[in-house]
Structure 1
Amino acid sequence: MDLLMKLIIIGIVQGISEWLPISSKTQVLLTSHFLLGLDVAIAYSFGLFMEMGSIGSAVIYFRKDIANVFKDRKLLFYLVIVTIITGIVGVPLYIVSDKLLQNAYNPAIPMIFLGIALIFDGIYIRFSRIKIREFRDLRTKDLILLGIAQGLAALPGVSRSGMTVSTMLFLGVKPEDAFRYSYLAYIPAALGAVGTTILFSKSNISYVISLVGLTGIPIAVISALVIGLVTIDVLLRFAKKRNIYIIDFTLGGIAILISLLALFG
């Protein structure tokens, strides 16, 4: 398999896994480790660098929301609070992630726990009388909780979308809003993640660029962008037609299945 095809595959993996509860960082880490022979710490940095493709997907798909963000005070307040808390929690975790990956830390383990949490979330919602809320009903303490959940995704194996979507569903936010506003919160968080990667992992990024060339990164990024647009659209359509607990069961099952494949595959 030539280098071009390997980079396209990595982009496809990023484009799909970013929007599912399976930690895109971990999937790109594993894929680039096996296809490009990257050390796991370097592969982790490469995975965060690949976020640029998914940022492009989100910006294009939600361009109307982004254009109106300064006119919509609730949305602006939501993005500011969640992003600040994400940074406070996430940056220190990213700094220690290299040491975690160099030891016995297995990124598949957190995904299993997330999958189990999603399933229990679905059971709770199915058999409780939880009140379904609109996104605009969220209070400041809810936004802080979402920021913490998103910040924890800086750890290898912890899915950002899985954490934020499941937290919103647990708070009673209707599925369509949970997916939509989780994905919107991703944009500033991912920009911060890319900036943090460049700031703290310059040597890793330089090594990747020297390995795949200056044209290699854009190929992988564009692949992630195109596949990401399709994936977002499919998931939002799915969210419109399904009950919350069904979505939790589905996402939890996906997370556990992928984790087990990573552990024993």
Structure 2
Amino acid sequence: MSWIQVIVLSIVQGLTEFLPVSSSGHLRIVSELFWGVDAGASFTAVVQLGTEIAVLVYFAKDIWRILIAWFRGLFKPEHRNFDYRMGWMVIVGTIPVVVAGLLFQDLIRDVLRNLWITAAVLVLFSFVFIAAEKWGRKERDFEELTMKDAIIMGFAQCLALIPGVSRSGGTISAGLFTGLNREVATRFSFLLAIPAVLGAGLYSLPSALSGEAGGQMASAPMLAVGVVITFVLGYASIAWLLRFVAHHSFAWFAAWRIPVGLLVMLLLATGVLQPY
């Protein structure tokens, strides 16, 4: 990979990771549009480390409180409060995407990166956002989160393995369908993503450096710069999104996703872009 490619793709990743527009889908599209080649799932997973570090920093107090409560609750039943249960919710909610990622990693790195699939999912999944906003009750607060919510959102997170779905879009929509309000669904979506994305990034690091799993090879300094860029922009994106969801519907993001998906389909049909 070239330095300009790493910088541009890292900017795209940092700006779109937490928005329900699919950062992996946008990386796939931008890579093909400007360089005629797929940067690869491994590169995507590694630069996502920066955005997840941003989550760790932004929610540091919450994460530390949950960790302390979880470890205390393991040995002392009297300390098994909501934060203790929250720790288990994140752990259990992460299991589906870990299993799916390991079982279908070849499919994820190859077949599912077809741009026709990305474009179609960008359009079709937009209607899931609209439906979640229309029929989700959006009544339940953070203290009302349950293990059932975590499991449902955890399975929804598996859909993010398909470029074009959006990790935040899938999990937040699932949360809205269960009756959580937007802010609660969004905050838990961020917490739920931490183990999965950090694990995927570290697991994919050797592949990104060697290019063995498909896609392009990037040097260690390139990946380091990419992680820094995604951290800075990701942190800003978290703050913006949490303010946005307090007063606006997620359906607004469909107004971006649908035209982008249709445009990509047009470019594919006319031969400007290639599916792989």
Preserved CA contact (<8 Å) 2:46 2:201: yes
Matched, 1:193 2:200: yes
Given the alignment, which residue of 107, 110, 119 partners 1:108?
119
Find the partner of 1:252 among 254, 259, 268: 254
Q: Which residue of 1 aligns with 2:50?
A: 53
Checking the alignment, whether the CA contact within 8 Å between 2:51 and 2:231 is kept in structure 1 is: yes
Q: Displacement, 1:163?
A: 0.1
Cα deviation, residue 199, structure 1? 6.9
Native 8 Å contact 1:164 1:182 kept in 2: yes
Q: Judging changes above 3 Å, is the alpha-carbon distance between structure 1 residues 46 and 78 closer, same or farther for their aligned structure 2 residues?
A: same
Residues 8-157 of structure 1 correspond to what in structure 2 (within 5 A)? 8-38=7-37, 40=38, 42-70=39-67, 71=69, 72-101=83-112, 106-125=117-136, 130=137, 132-157=139-164
**Which residue number in structure 2 is paired with residue 235 of structure 1?**
241
Please tell me the root mean square deviation across aligned C-alpha atoms, in Å. 2.7
Seen in structure 2, the aligned counterparts of structure 1 residues 177 and 98 have a Cα distance that, compared at 3 Å, is same
Q: CA deviation at 1:28?
A: 1.5
What amino acid maps onto 1:240 in structure 2? A
The offset of 1:206, in angstroms, is 8.5
Distance 1:195 1:6, change over 3 A: closer
**166-175 vs 5-14, which moves further:** 5-14
| 8 Å contact from structure 1 (residues 91, 154) kept in 2 | no
- Alpha-carbon shift at residue 22 of structure 1 (Å): 1.8
1:149-196 CA-to-partner distances (Å, cap 9, x unmatched) read 002211232211100011111111111111111111111110122244
What is the TM-score when the length of structure 1 is the normalising length? Answer: 0.84
- The residue aligned with 1:158 is 165
- Within 2, Cα distance between the matches of 1:64 and 1:116? 35
Deviation at 1:109, TM superposition (A): 1.1
Contact 2:56 2:63 in 1 (8 A): yes
User: Does the C-alpha gap of structure 1 residues 131 and 248 become closer, same or farther in structure 2, counting only changes over 3 Å?
Assistant: closer
Offset, 1:14: 0.2
Shift of 1:198: 4.1
Contact preservation (8 Å) 1:82, 1:146 = yes
Alpha-carbon shift at residue 33 of structure 1 (Å) = 3.5
- 1: CA distance between counterparts of 2:29 and 2:130? 25
Which sections of structure 2, spanning at least 5 residues, go unmatched? Answer: 70-82, 268-276
Segment of structure 1 superposing worse, 103-112 or 221-230: 103-112
Is the Cα–Cα contact under 8 Å of residues 29 and 46 in structure 1 kept in the other structure? no
What is the deviation of 1:138? 2.8
Gaps of 5+ in 1: none
TM-score, normalization by structure 2: 0.81
Change beyond 3 A, Cα 1:112–1:181? same
For residue 101 of structure 1, report the CA deviation from its aligned partner: 4.5
Question: Partner letter of residue 244 of structure 2?
Answer: F
Checking the alignment, whether the CA contact within 8 Å between 2:46 and 2:227 is kept in structure 1 is no
Aligned partners of 1:108 and 1:262 also within 8 Å? yes
Report which stretch shifted further, 213-222 or 61-70. 213-222
The AA in structure 2 aligned to 1:154 is L
CA 208–98 in structure 1, closer or farther in 2 if over 3 Å, else same = closer
**Cα separation, 1, equivalents of 2:115 and 2:29:** 15
Equivalent pairs, count: 253
